[in-house]
Amino acid sequence: IAGITQAPTSQILAAGRRMTLRCTQDMRHNAMYWYRQDLGLGLRLIHYSNTAGTTGKGEVPDGYSVSRANTDDFPLTLASAVPSQTSVYFCASTPSPGTTEAFFGQGTRLTVV
Amino acid sequence: QKEVEQNSGPLSVPEGAIASLNCTYSDRGSQSFFWYRQYSGKSPELIMFIYSNGDKEDGRFTAQLNKASQYVSLLIRDSQPSDSATYLCAVNMKYSGYALNFGKGTSLLVTP
């Protein structure tokens, strides 16, 4: 693993199903983030974690949950997917919150049908 | 209303010209400002960051920050067709753990 990795790269999901998007980084960054990107709306923050063991809500947290059990992993869970959660999801990390460059994963394209 | 505002474009400039991309933000407490470039279907990649008022130059790129006016811009000199992409302005959000708050992006097209 080099940098930040997301899995899967794409997924078609039936509405009502549970889904976990995985994000792993090997840079020992303290802060990690989940964004969704929709046409015309840009990147919007879903949840963030400034250090292992802590999480916070972003701009659009409803329907999503996260955990940060260790420094490297920051999974995003959709408990019961709805079509409005169709989007491209990006995981990102920074060495420290906000003041340095954010590194992005390659994205997960999720379609909820 | 997003707290980071950009014109969506598209902004079209001829090859070799200067492209000027603008961004305004609402949070006066913001301290860090970033410009990312995103090609279609790809992840955002950092072009420049700026923390202090004034200009910061890196090759063909110059970032300009005016905290009093809550304004940050990116100039691209000698624009190339390969610069055609969406440019995202990002500002750190103190109230969300200093996560980056992105504008919707400006689409730039450099024509040969």
Over residues A15-21, mean pLDDT: 97
Residue B97 is nearest to which of A42, A44, A48, comparing CB atoms?
Answer: A48
Which stretches of chain B drop beneath a pLDDT of 70?
1-2
Q: Which of chain A's residues have a Cβ under 8 Å away from the Cβ of B45?
A: 104
B52 close contact with A: CB closer than 8 A: no
Residue B90: closest C-alpha in chain A:
A43
A48 close contact with B: CB closer than 8 A: yes
A19 close contact with B: CB closer than 8 A: no
Percent over 90 (pLDDT), chain A: 88
Task: Mark yes or no for CB contact A102/B46 under 8 Å.
Answer: yes
Only one residue has tokens 């998007």, namely A21
Handedness of CA B4, B7, B10, B15 (dihedral sign): negative
SS3 for A43-86 is: EEEEEEECCCCCCEECCCCCCEEECCCCCCECCEEECCCCHHHC
Range of weakest confidence among A22-31, A66-75, B21-30, B78-87 = B21-30
CA distance B2 to A112: 26
What rounded mean pLDDT belongs to chain A?
A: 94
**Confidence band (pLDDT; 50, 70, 90) for A69?**
very high
How do residues A78-113 score in pLDDT, each as one tens digit?
999 999 999 999 999 999 887 678 899 999 999 999
Percent over 70 (pLDDT), chain B: 98
pLDDT value of residue B75: 98
pLDDT value of residue A1: 54
Task: Mark yes or no for CB contact A104/B2 under 8 Å.
Answer: no
**Confidence band (pLDDT; 50, 70, 90) for A12?**
very high
Over residues A41-50, mean pLDDT: 93
| Alpha carbon distances (Å) from B66 to A17, A75, B14, B69 | 47, 37, 27, 6
Task: Mark yes or no for CB contact A98/B32 under 8 Å.
Answer: yes
CB-defined contacts A:B, below 8 A: 74
**Confidence band (pLDDT; 50, 70, 90) for A71?**
very high
CB A70 within 8 A of CB A48: no
Task: Mark yes or no for CB contact B99/A33 under 8 Å.
Answer: yes
Residue B92 is nearest to which of A49, A98, A105, comparing CB atoms?
Answer: A98
Map residue B96 onto helix, strand or coil: helix
